């Protein structure tokens, strides 16, 4: 069975993608900072027939990242690494003039440094995954969850957007340096998530799409298999119609 690591999998898009992969027969290594919600998600994934290793922890911790990769190795290897865990750097979001520098450092640590650290830890398994997954088809893959704030100048989104822009560039370089892998960085679009609610608590998010609506776009990348590059979920979904 193919194996995926998904960070930030106790809720939102990470949990929705994990559920979809479990339904397709994937085995999963999942993490989140809160143990309770993570174990609840893991129970649901196991009920779908997946082997699941749930490891609570912070992706900014190198020891935790090593544990995630070791768990994947224990399941037989690694076909897909999903860097989904994210922090805003300020809750609620603020203009750059008021943005805490410590908050910006935290956003860069979780959104940029930690994903690279996890990629570095996982590269031997990803390089060895060529042809192992019937979904990815060609090689191991890295999926980074980006944002439209990485390319658009939105008031108060400067710190978070800067971190996601750095993640995009980091992913683009990884794709060049590791041509044997598939590397995708994806803007999922607006979603009804706790992260968005924390970013703009005064905005009514009830009309925003649920994370589950984005999952078919991510599965299209796996099924293609799509070339390395930046993708927008809405465009992937439009292309499927």
pLDDT digits (tens, 9 = 90+) for 170-207: 999 999 999 999 999 999 998 988 898 899 998 888 88
pLDDT tens digits, one per residue of 207-240: 888 999 999 999 999 998 789 999 999 999 987 5
Residue 190 near residue 213 (C-beta atoms within 8 A): no
| CA dist., res. 64 & res. 231, Å (int) | 29
Q: Residue 112 pLDDT > 90, yes or no?
A: yes
What is the pLDDT, as a whole number, of residue 202? 87
Quick one: pLDDT band at residue 135, thresholds 50, 70, 90?
Answer: low
CATH, residue 36 = 3.40.50.720
What does the radius of gyration of the chain's CA atoms come to, in whole angstroms? 17
Say how many domains are in the chain: 1
Q: What angle do CA 231, 157, 5 make, to 5 degrees?
A: 45
Instruction: Answer yes or no: 160 catalytic.
Output: yes
Range of the structural domain that residue 170 is part of: 3-240
Q: Residue 72 pLDDT > 70, yes or no?
A: yes
Q: Which residue has the tokens 């290594």?
A: 29
Token couple for 225: 């298999």
What is the pLDDT, as a whole number, of residue 134? 65
Q: Residue 161 pLDDT > 70, yes or no?
A: yes
The answer, yes or no, to whether the previous bond of 93 is cis (omega within 30 of 0) is no
Q: Which of 135, 154, 160, 231 is catalytic?
A: 160
């Amino acid at each position: 069975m193919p194996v995926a690591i998904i960070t930030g999998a106790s809720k939102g898009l990470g949990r929705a993608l994990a559920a979809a992969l479990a339904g397709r027969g994937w085995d999963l290594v999942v993490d989140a900072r809160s143990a309770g919600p993570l174990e609840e998600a893991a129970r649901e994934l196991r009920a779908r027939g997946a082997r699941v290793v749930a490891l609570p922890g912070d992706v900014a911790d190198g020891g935790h990242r090593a544990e995630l990769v070791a768990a994947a190795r224990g399941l037989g290897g690694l076909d897909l690494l999903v860097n989904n865990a994210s922090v805003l750097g300020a809750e609620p979001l603020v203009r750059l003039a008021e943005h805490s520098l410590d908050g910006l450092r935290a956003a860069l640590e979780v959104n940029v440094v930690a994903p690279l650290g996890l990629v570095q830890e996982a590269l031997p398994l990803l390089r060895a995954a060529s042809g192992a997954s019937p979904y990815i088809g060609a090689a191991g893959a890295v999926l980074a969850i980006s944002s439209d704030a990485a390319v658009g100048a939105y008031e108060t989104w400067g710190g978070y957007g800067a971190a996601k822009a750095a993640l995009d560039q980091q992913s683009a370089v990884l794709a060049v340096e590791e041509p044997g892998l598939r590397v995708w960085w994806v803007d999922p679009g607006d979603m009804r998530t706790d992260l968005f609610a924390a970013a703009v608590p005064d905005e009514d998010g009830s009309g925003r799409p649920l994370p589950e609506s984005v999952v078919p776009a991510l599965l299209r990348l796996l099924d293609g298999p799509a070339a390395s590059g930046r993708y927008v979920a809405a465009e992937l979904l439009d292309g499927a119609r």
